[in-house]
Structure 1
Amino acid sequence: SPEMAAESALDCVARGYTAIKFDPAGPYTMRGGHMPAMTDISQSVAFCKAIRAAVGDKADLLFGTHGQFTTAGAIRLGNAIAPYSPLWYEEPIPPDAVEQMAAVARAVPIPVATGERLTTKAEFAPVLRSGAAAILQPALGRVGGIWEAKKIAAMAEVYNAQIAPHLYAGPVEWAANIHLATSIPNILMCECIETPFHDQLIKSTIKVEDGFITAPTAAGLGIEVDEALARAHPYTGNGLHLEMQDAPCDYVNGNAFEGGAPSVKS
């Protein structure tokens, strides 16, 4: 719902956040990059329009995708949402197609962000050389840790690119992201995922206040993990938080991106 997304964005702005991430852009399908349906483009435009109208210039829009589109499809969608001036267009095509990502970056007037699925500086170097992205999103749980991420950040400096470490793997990765952020000059922002369980899991050792994170000063990553709480809540499901769906893009009935919060099927 664009209206509910706008309401949520306003709540974030009221708590000091300066950027809002959302991803309404249609199905994440195992069948590879697809051309977005017109209904998907209209839905994405509606989200951007509603959120921009709600937050004005108080917050940036972070438009997320998960490599769903063909190059041509990504260009169509990107140009449709460009009037709302998103800060980034995240992983619009599969991230291993570097030259095609660069084609999207040249054709769309929104900074392209990518990197959550890339590993080590060797995979980030071609992205920078080709101009495929202005914002890199290394996931510290995957890229090789803080030290490797610092090398990637140094490479990005040479190409006038910024770093926004990706957050997907919970509060331990978040703590690592924060340490990286405090140690590099070209940090753009640190993503946050606020859940009461995550907060309890690290015993509230990191807090977001008025949109800012105060870096921890304790030893190591600066957090204290509640091991008993973790053991008391093992994951017993067989589905991932974000899974490619088997069904292809539906050009007749429209699509709903349900990667983060799947609806209950009757």
Structure 2
Amino acid sequence: MRLTDIRTFVVANPPPHFGGRYFVIVRLTTACGITGLGEAYCVPFAPHLVAQMCEDVFARYAQGHDPHDIETLWRRVYSAGFTQKPDLTMMAVLSALEMACWDIIGKAAGQPVYKLLGGRVHEALRAYTYIYPRPGDATDVYADPELAAERAATYLDMGFTALKFDPAGPYTAFGGRQLSLEELDRCERFGRILREAVGTRADLLFGTHGQMTAAGAIRLAKRLEQFDPLWLEEPVPPDAPEEMAKVARGTSIPIATGERLATKYDFQRLMDCGAAAILQMNLGRVGGLLEAKKIAGMAEARHIQIAPHLYCGPIVGAANVQLATASPNFLILESIEDWGGFHSAILKTPMQFEDGHVIPPTAPGLGIELDDEVALANPYTDTPLHLEMTQHPL
């Protein structure tokens, strides 16, 4: 079996854009006609340039090679250009290619990928969603705790038992910072009103995006502890795990992080510091499925859990499901609501979601197929990146 071709899709995610503005998807094909899908997450370059990067890396390191040789592909790409250091751009490209190889491997074996990663551990995967806005909202659900509590009731009726929100304010290229007293008060109000609304029916996941210094994060955590959140997410920027460890030592709230990290080397440093109790690797950035499985194993030895991150498209989502299904230390899976809307329309067979849980597919490979007509009918022609930070100090 040999890889012969690559095709890329830069797909606009229509309003309300939950999961980002666009998805960068690759399809690899073998000489015997088996295809596999992958997705690159949040590369800080224009998405069509990212698609060209995927094509270039494929031509240099994958074309003509056996897709089963994941370790060889990984080392060649990781070392490309005399690097051998975690690079978020290259690791996202590698993740897309590696993910597609696993899709091919599973199809060739007639097995879902999780059967090849150790087998099925979980029959259903508990999921959570952000508390998202809806058309017609009179206020901003990200800043209005009363509206967030009303929306939480809707999600509980859908079967969710965990909800995430981030009222801490904008994240900026000049963070972390100390939150203002107004921001701290708003965060505390969110915690109180949401806890009163959901009671013990749902865990509260307090999301942040590295907005704070360690000292500022501890100030916030002290206010939130009374509401018993399941986690405080990425309280400080991802470049200083030693600082995040200060937060972990300074609060009883578990720290979750990892969406902006790549490779086992980044995560080893994080774990060695004691910076997190829950790892949120993104399968479209971390270095692929096998790398994520290695990290999950490293975490298991330290009694650390995993909660795969998803703020991108359903290809990464499907890979997350494969990893979670085969991981004993899986905690919870991020969903974009119930995997409906465009995340469903772009797939020929949507992911199965039942009563707040994702049901792992039994189809071979990643268990999904792209609907090319839908993908091609939604090309991304705008200029903003997938996610962007405020460009000025706050």
**1:27 counterpart residue number:** 170
The CA deviation at 1:92 is 0.3
**1:226 counterpart residue number:** 371
What is the root-mean-square deviation of aligned Cα atoms in Å?
Answer: 1.1
**2:391 counterpart residue number:** 246
User: 201, 212, 216: which one pairs with 2:357?
Assistant: 212
User: 207, 231, 238: which one pairs with 1:95?
Assistant: 238
Give deviations 1:22-57, integer Å, cap 9, x for gaps: 111111111121110111111111111111111100
Indicate if the aligned counterparts of 1:201 and 1:230 stay in contact, CA closer than 8 A. yes
Indicate if the aligned counterparts of 2:231 and 2:255 stay in contact, CA closer than 8 A. yes
Cα distance in 2 for partners of 1:156, 1:71 equals: 23
Give deviations 1:230-265, integer Å, cap 9, x for gaps: 11111222223431112322xxxxxxxxxxxxxxxx
Higher relative contact order (CA 8 A, sep 6+): 2
**1:184 counterpart residue number:** 327
User: 196, 207, 229: which one pairs with 2:341?
Assistant: 196
The CA deviation at 1:204 is 4.1
Cα distance in 1 for partners of 2:157, 2:291 equals: 35
**1:131 counterpart residue number:** 274
Cα distance in 2 for partners of 1:236, 1:40 equals: 36
**1:146 counterpart residue number:** 289
- Identity value in percent: 55
Unaligned runs of 5+ in 1: 250-266
Considering only CA atoms, is the larger Rg found in Structure 1 or Structure 2?
2
Unaligned runs of 5+ in 2: 1-143
The CA deviation at 1:108 is 1.3
Cα distance in 2 for partners of 1:132, 1:236 equals: 40
> By percentage of residues, which structure has more strand?
2
**Helix, strand or coil at the partner of 2:188:** helix
Indicate if the aligned counterparts of 2:171 and 2:389 stay in contact, CA closer than 8 A. yes
Cα distance in 1 for partners of 2:295, 2:278 equals: 12
Cα distance in 2 for partners of 1:173, 1:130 equals: 28
Aligned AA (1:229):
V
Cα distance in 2 for partners of 1:70, 1:218 equals: 45
**Helix, strand or coil at the partner of 1:140:** coil
Cα distance in 2 for partners of 1:96, 1:159 equals: 22
- TM-score for both structures, normalised by structure 1: 0.91
- TM-score for both structures, normalised by structure 2: 0.62
